């Protein structure tokens, strides 16, 4: 397994408020603090380890945004699943992750609840179904599919279930002190994840802005190409998913091979018509 370099230190800067003065005070007064040149010790366990093809704990029990007790496997049937682990009381990074996901999904040309599902789980056991409901309403508005609620699920749970899911996805996080000194915030990576209909990890996309093309291809891949169009198949041939960076990149060698093939076909067609023309001219003489 490769450790994805998603910039945990930069993420922490967003999570902790970004105030340089307060950061200096933390270094001076808090035993967990450190200098700006070194990574704080309490960040050692934060980050993301990709676990491609890892099965999820589908029997784990959570509570949805309506207060209903649900098992994770209720959302894994026939469709791929776009996932995010956040916490709903977050006012910094998590809303940006959800906004990035909803914005990208809005442009993929698929419909939530028909072509794919969305599962967002809080890593904070103190979050409530009311927190989840509020976050879901914002997400649906940004998604532009207000009637897709049956395909979008925001969950809260107990620590044991949260830990089981975070371990299966490789999403590691740590509690960190907020401006008031309380351990009420989390340092974590900014990432969205995709899982197959049978509940296995498929892909990770890094950052807070997710290209619509990459999100569509991730859903197509997670569906085992069941929702793929001819254009998707062409793009998948021309692009490679790079796990270490959590992005799709152009497959240069494939493009060169494709260009060479097209050139050879063109030359073959040209020679064919030239030979016919010469044959026709000889007969006319």
What is the model's pLDDT at position 231?
Answer: 79
Q: 190-221 burial string, b = 16+ CB within 10 Å, else e?
A: bbbbbbbbebbbbbbbbbbebeeebbbbbbbb
The rounded distance, in Å, linking the Cα atoms of 13 and 93 is 10
Is the CB of residue 239 less than 8 Å from the CB of residue 230?
Answer: no
What value does the mean pLDDT take over residues 106-135?
Answer: 97
- Residue-wise pLDDT tens digits, 174-212: 988 776 666 678 999 999 999 999 999 999 999 999 999
- In 5-150, DSSP assigns E strands to 47-49, 61-63, 69-71, 81-86, 117-122
What is the model's pLDDT at position 255?
Answer: 42
Question: What is each CA distance from 47 to 5, 44, 189, 202, 229, in whole angstroms?
Answer: 8, 8, 6, 18, 34
More confident: 150 or 29 = 150
Q: What is the DSSP code (8-state) at residue 44?
A: T
Is the CB of residue 79 less than 8 Å from the CB of residue 117?
Answer: yes
The rounded distance, in Å, linking the Cα atoms of 20 and 62 is 38
Is the CB of residue 63 less than 8 Å from the CB of residue 156?
Answer: yes
Instruction: Tell me: pLDDT of 258 over 70.
Output: no
Instruction: Tell me: pLDDT of 121 over 70.
Output: yes
Parallel/antiparallel/unpaired status of strands 152-155 and 117-122? parallel
Torsion over CA: 1, 53, 101, 73 (sign): negative
Q: For the ranges 16-30, 54-68, 242-256, which has the lowest average pLDDT?
A: 16-30
User: 58-67, 146-155, 179-188: which has the highest mean pLDDT?
Assistant: 58-67
- CATH class of domain segment(s) 3-250: alpha beta
Q: What are the residue boundaries of the structural domains of the chain, listed by start?
A: 3-250, 255-285
What is the model's pLDDT at position 201?
Answer: 97
The rounded distance, in Å, linking the Cα atoms of 136 and 88 is 10
Q: Which of 7, 25, 34, 168 minimizes the C-alpha distance to 93?
A: 7
**Mean pLDDT of all residues belonging to the chain:** 80
What is the model's pLDDT at position 239?
Answer: 74
What is the model's pLDDT at position 238?
Answer: 78
What value does the mean pLDDT take over residues 69-83?
Answer: 95
Is the CB of residue 16 less than 8 Å from the CB of residue 180?
Answer: no
What percentage of the chain carries pLDDT values higher than 70?
68
User: 143-157, 171-185, 249-263: which has the highest mean pLDDT?
Assistant: 143-157
Tokens, residue 31: 């035993």
Instruction: Tell me: pLDDT of 223 over 90.
Output: yes
């Amino acid at each position: 397994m490769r450790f994805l370099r998603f910039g945990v230190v930069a993420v922490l800067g967003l999570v902790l408020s970004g105030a340089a003065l307060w950061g200096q005070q933390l270094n001076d007064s808090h035993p967990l603090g450190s200098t700006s040149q070194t990574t704080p010790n309490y960040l050692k366990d934060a980050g993301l380890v990709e676990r491609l093809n890892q099965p999820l704990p589908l029997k784990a029990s959570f509570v949805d945004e309506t207060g209903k007790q649900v098992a994770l496997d209720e959302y894994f049937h026939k469709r791929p699943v776009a996932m995010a682990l956040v916490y709903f009381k977050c006012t910094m990074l998590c809303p940006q992750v959800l906004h990035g996901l909803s914005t990208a999904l809005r442009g993929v040309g698929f419909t939530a609840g028909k072509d794919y599902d969305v599962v967002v789980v809080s890593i904070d056991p103190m979050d409530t179904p009311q927190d989840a409901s509020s976050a879901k309403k914002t997400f649906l508005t940004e998604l532009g599919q207000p009637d897709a609620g049956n395909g979008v699920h925001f969950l809260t749970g107990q620590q044991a279930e949260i830990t089981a899911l975070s371990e299966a996805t490789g999403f590691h996080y740590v509690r960190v002190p907020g401006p008031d000194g309380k351990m009420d915030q989390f340092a974590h990576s900014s990432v969205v994840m995709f899982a197959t209909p049978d509940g296995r990890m498929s892909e990770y996309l890094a950052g807070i802005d997710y290209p619509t093309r990459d999100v569509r291809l991730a859903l197509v891949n997670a569906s085992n190409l069941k929702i793929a169009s001819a254009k998707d198949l062409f793009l998948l041939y021309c692009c490679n998913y790079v796990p270490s960076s959590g992005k799709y990149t152009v497959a240069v060698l494939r493009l060169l091979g494709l260009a060479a093939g097209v050139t050879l076909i063109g030359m073959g067609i040209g020679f064919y018509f030239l030979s016919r023309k010469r044959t026709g001219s000889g007969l006319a003489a």
